[in-house]
Amino acid sequence: MPTDLAIGCSCGSLKGVARGFAAARVNRVVCGCGDCQAYARYLGRADELLDAYGGTDIFQMCPRDLAFTHGADRIACLRLTPNGALRWYADCCKTPIANTFSTSHMPFMGMVHACIDRSHDKRSLDDMLGPVRVRVNNPAAPNESSTWALIPMLLRYGGMLLWWRLRGDHKRSPFFNARTGAPIVAPRIVGAEELRKLKGAQDRDQTN
């Protein structure tokens, strides 16, 4: 049964809603890649954002269904590399919100679990989002999904993305200007040296 899911940053300055939200309609993925880990460190919230194997819990949905109702001027954008994904977060308290493609033409986004406003909704993530469908990009994790497990997921994503694009949702993202397709704020690109440090911190942690 679709309902509205409250979205917000930790300090309450940014608020929004994921409209018509239903666990059955989102893809919940845990991504263990080095970039997601570096991003959590950049925000200074790695302990809270990453699971025991360094994975980030993400639920993928259509940007059209996300709207900000308060404090949208708090939104900032980061790219770890010049060609990397756009990582949108609330600058006030460094809460990650969503990751998108760099172009508005792909109406698809991964919402980071910490963006859910749980002040009034005390359900577990499993109850809100359904079970994790796949775990990717971290071969060291014992619960990593097999390649075969990814195929139905990729087919499902591909179909959803195509449908959303055909119905024009690339012009209905809160992160891109509907007319020009430009990001609503210019992304900050992390320098190579800074990125090396962010990733180096991970390596140190993992050997401790």
What does DSSP assign to residue 131? S
How far apart are alpha carbons 142 and 150 in whole angstroms? 16
Q: Is 9 in the site for Zn ion (CB under 5 A)?
A: yes
Q: Please count the residues of the chain.
A: 208
Q: In angstroms, give the least distance from the CB of 143 to Zn ion.
A: 16
The residue within the footprint of Zn ion, chosen from 18, 30, 31, 115 (CB under 5 A), is 31
Query: Closest CB to Zn ion among 1 and 139?
Result: 139
Q: Is 36 in the site for Zn ion (CB under 5 A)?
A: yes
What is the chain's alpha carbon radius of gyration, rounded to the nearest angstrom? 16
Other residues' Cβ atoms within 10 Å of the Cβ of residue 142: 8
Q: In angstroms, give the least distance from the CB of 166 to Zn ion.
A: 27
Stretch of residues binding Zn ion (CB under 5 A), selected from 34-42, 101-109, 154-162, 163-171? 34-42
How far apart are alpha carbons 96 and 2 in whole angstroms? 24
From the list 125, 104, 121, the residue with the least C-alpha distance to 176 is: 104
Q: How many residues bind Zn ion (CB under 5 A)?
A: 9
Q: Is 102 in the site for Zn ion (CB under 5 A)?
A: no
Q: In angstroms, give the least distance from the CB of 105 to Zn ion.
A: 21
How far apart are alpha carbons 140 and 158 in whole angstroms? 27
Q: In angstroms, give the least distance from the CB of 182 to Zn ion.
A: 24
Compute CA distances 118 → 65, 109, 148, whole Å: 19, 20, 34
Q: In angstroms, give the least distance from the CB of 171 to Zn ion.
A: 27
Query: Closest CB to Zn ion among 102 and 171?
Result: 102
Q: Is 162 in the site for Zn ion (CB under 5 A)?
A: no
Taking CB under 5 A as the criterion, which residues in 67-96 touch Zn ion?
Answer: 90, 92-93
Q: Is 98 in the site for Zn ion (CB under 5 A)?
A: no
The four Cα atoms 107, 128, 143, 48 give a dihedral, to 10 degrees, of 90
Question: Rule CB under 5 A: which residues touch Zn ion?
Answer: 9, 11, 13, 31, 33, 36, 90, 92-93
